[in-house]
Amino acid sequence: MPSWMLQGAPYKGLFILVLVFVALEYIFNTVTETRNAIFNATRSYQLIEEKLTYGPAAPNHTKKANLSMDLSNLHYIVTVPPALIGVNLSTTYVTTVKRESDFTAENGTSTDKPPCADITQTLYGRVPIRKYPIPSLESLEKKFDWLMPGGHWSPPKCTVDKRVALVVPFRDRGGHLLLFLQHMHPFLRKQQLDYTIFVVEQEGNGPFNRAMLMNVGYSEALKSGKFDCFIFHDVDLLPEDDRNLYSCPEQPRHMSVAVDMFQYKLPYPAIFGGVSAISTAHFKLLNGFSNCFWGWGGEDDDMSNRIRYHRLYISRYPITIARYTMLSHRKDPPNPSRYDVLKKGQKLFDKDGLNDLEYVLVMKKEKLLYTWILARLMNHTSDHHHR
């Protein structure tokens, strides 16, 4: 063996070391640059809604009137069968949401607070996500002592013109709920929102009906107070960026655009599941969600169809901002008839939804961190779908 080769060995090691060093330096710089880019972007950041129209236009039978909709003058009447709501009065515990402004009024102090200033300058982009340890309810109640009963907060020194209700469909995911509350309250307060969190729990062990729980949340929230819009929120999705504003949308807004579990990509353009926001007027117009989806899947696509049918469109924030971490859970078995229900549902938008919603309100209670609603859901799917 020639001597230069033997001598080469230590040089080879040194060479690799230098290479590794250069690579590390490069990686470090990229990370720092990305971080700076995020931080710099924040300073001059303006939220722009990304409009996204999808699929074919509304079918021919769509009422023409919807094209030039005057939302202030909606004459869409929603009736909920009164007999079945809150029947069991002995176990029903109903209170109303008291707002900070109500207290101010009671105390006789001035109610003409100035409108809240633009908060976009105070947002800083990515926020930390904590998946463990799971906090205790008591520790959260102690930590968020600035909350008003019912999971409500609004800026004490200024007024916000829109009131937001977060509706969380729920059953048997206690750990997720605690992590969700731990994350959301500071997040929403930072955005200077007037908000209330409603956790709508399904009673019993029957198939879960996410969409119907949203309808229940909507109805019960409006009984407690005035809300300008609703944000329907899976309990296992945590927003990663505080520029993702939980404000009221002009058009239905799909919010969970980029989820870590889906490699931060939008799975398909018409998707409306996970987290979505709709104004109260639009939700009424759409007749809410369908009540016919029992078990996993389909209900969000049906809502997507409703939106298109009424010639509204799905708006989205940019993919770099509308980012979420999903907490892990076992996958529920998909409802095998979801495509069938989805297909038949196209003719049922006006029959199936808020105006045939039936449930028993088993419990409604204002906890500090959220308003808890427990509902027994009535199944009328077969009335519609097997005729």
Q: Which is nearer to ligand UDP, 170 or 195 (CB)?
A: 170
Piece of the chain touching ligand UDP by CB under 6 A; list 33-41, 50-58, 233-241, 303-311: 233-241
Q: Which is nearer to ligand UDP, 236 or 301 (CB)?
A: 236
Q: Which of 194, 236, 241, 302 binds ligand UDP (CB under 6 A)?
A: 236
Q: Which of 173, 243, 282, 364 binds ligand UDP (CB under 6 A)?
A: 173
Binding mask 37-76 for ligand UDP (x = CB under 6 A): ----------------------------------------
Chain position whose Cβ is nearest to ligand UDP: 234
235: partner contacted, choices Mn ion, ligand UDP, none (Cβ within 5-8 A by kind):
ligand UDP
User: Exposed, middle or buried by CB within 10 Å (0-12, 13-18, 19+), for 200?
Assistant: buried
Q: CB–CB of 47/123 below 8 Å?
A: no
> DSSP letters along 107-135, please?
TT----PPBPPP-GGG--SB-----SSPP
Q: CB–CB of 314/52 below 8 Å?
A: yes
Q: Which of 172, 340, 350, 383 binds ligand UDP (CB under 6 A)?
A: 172
Q: Which is nearer to ligand UDP, 99 or 210 (CB)?
A: 210
Q: Which is nearer to ligand UDP, 213 or 354 (CB)?
A: 213
Q: Is 153 in the site for ligand UDP (CB under 6 A)?
A: no
Q: How far apart (Å, rounded) are the C-alpha atoms in residues 62 and 244?
A: 33
Closest separation in Å from C-beta 300 to ligand UDP: 9
Q: Is 300 in the site for Mn ion (CB under 5 A)?
A: no
173: partner contacted, choices ligand UDP, Mn ion, none (Cβ within 5-8 A by kind):
ligand UDP
Closest separation in Å from C-beta 259 to ligand UDP: 9
Q: CB–CB of 280/71 below 8 Å?
A: no
For the chain, list the strands marked E by DSSP. 50-52, 152-153, 163-170, 194-202, 229-233, 237-239, 253-254, 258-259, 275-279, 314-316, 323-326, 359-366, 371-377
Closest separation in Å from C-beta 83 to ligand UDP: 28
**Distance (Å) of CA 265 to CA 37, 242, 276, 297:** 20, 19, 16, 19
Q: Is 262 in the site for ligand UDP (CB under 6 A)?
A: no
Q: Is 235 in the site for ligand UDP (CB under 6 A)?
A: yes
Closest separation in Å from C-beta 328 to Mn ion: 9
What tokens does 194 get?
A: 């007037």
Strand partners, 253: 277, 315
Chain position whose Cβ is nearest to Mn ion: 236
End-to-end CA distance of the chain: 89
What tokens does 351 get?
A: 């029959």
Q: Is 169 in the site for ligand UDP (CB under 6 A)?
A: yes
Closest separation in Å from C-beta 176 to ligand UDP: 7
Closest separation in Å from C-beta 133 to Mn ion: 20
Q: Which of 194, 201, 220, 236 binds Mn ion (CB under 5 A)?
A: 236
